[in-house]
Amino acid sequence: MDFNLPEETRILKDVVRRFVNDELMPLELSLPERANSLDLPEPIQNRLVKIIEDLGLAALDAPVEIGGAGLGLLDSCIVIEEVHRCTAGRGVFAMRFAPVIYDLATDQQKEKYLYPTVRGELQGASAFSEPQAAGDMAGILTTMEKTSEGWILNGNKCWISYADIADYVLVLARVKGTKRHEGMSWVIVEKDTPGFSIGREQKMIHGHSTFELFLDKCLVNEQQLLGEPGQGWGAGTSFLYSSRLQISARALGIADRCLELAIDYAKQRHTFGKPLASRQAIQWMIADSSVELHAARLMVYDAAWRAQKGENVIQQTAMAKTYATEMAGRVVDRAVQIHGAAGLSDETILERCYRDVRPMRIYEGSAEAMRSVIANGLLR
pLDDT one-digit tens code per residue, 34-56: 555 556 777 888 888 889 989 98
- The DSSP 8-state label assigned to residue 133 in this structure reads B
Same domain, 158 and 190: yes
In this prediction, residue 285 carries a pLDDT of 98
Which of 97-111, 237-251, 290-304 shows the lowest per-residue confidence on average (mean pLDDT)? 237-251
- The DSSP 8-state label assigned to residue 97 in this structure reads -
Same domain, 16 and 91: yes
Same domain, 216 and 246: no
Burial class of residue 105 (count of CB atoms within 10 Å of its CB; 0-12, 13-18, 19+) = buried
Same domain, 212 and 246: no
Same domain, 138 and 189: yes
Residue 82 phi/psi, 5-degree rounding, is -65, -45
Q: Which residue has the higher pLDDT, 204 or 11?
A: 11
Q: How many structural domains does the chain have?
A: 3
Asked whether 324 and 300 are in contact (CB, 8 A), the reply is yes
- The DSSP 8-state label assigned to residue 71 in this structure reads -
Which of 226, 245, 280 marks a domain boundary? Answer: 226
Q: Which residue has the higher pLDDT, 160 or 231?
A: 160
Confidence of residue 1 (pLDDT cuts 50, 70, 90): low
* For residues 296-325, average pLDDT: 94
Q: How far is residue 247's CA from residue 302's CA, in Å, rounded to a whole number?
A: 15
| Pairing state between β 274-275 and 270-271 | antiparallel
Same domain, 63 and 91: yes
Return all residues near 148 (Cβ < 8 A) that are at least 6 apart: none
Answer yes or no: is 151 within a domain: yes
- The DSSP 8-state label assigned to residue 62 in this structure reads S
* For residues 255-259, average pLDDT: 98
Residue 240 phi/psi, 5-degree rounding, is -65, -40
Which of 5-9, 232-236, 241-245 shows the lowest per-residue confidence on average (mean pLDDT)? 232-236
Confidence of residue 33 (pLDDT cuts 50, 70, 90): low
Catalytic residue numbers, as ranges: 364
Which of 181, 202, 226 marks a domain boundary? Answer: 226
| Residue 378 CA: distances (Å) to CA of 13, 314, 364, 373, 375 | 35, 11, 21, 9, 5
Confidence of residue 135 (pLDDT cuts 50, 70, 90): low
Answer yes or no: is 102 within a domain: no
Range of the domain at 163: 124-226
Largest CA distance in the chain: 81
* For residues 234-257, average pLDDT: 86
Asked whether 170 and 97 are in contact (CB, 8 A), the reply is no
Same domain, 50 and 89: yes
Confidence of residue 179 (pLDDT cuts 50, 70, 90): confident
| Beta bridge partners of residue 155, listed in sequence order | 215
Q: How far is residue 241's CA from residue 239's CA, in Å, rounded to a whole number?
A: 6
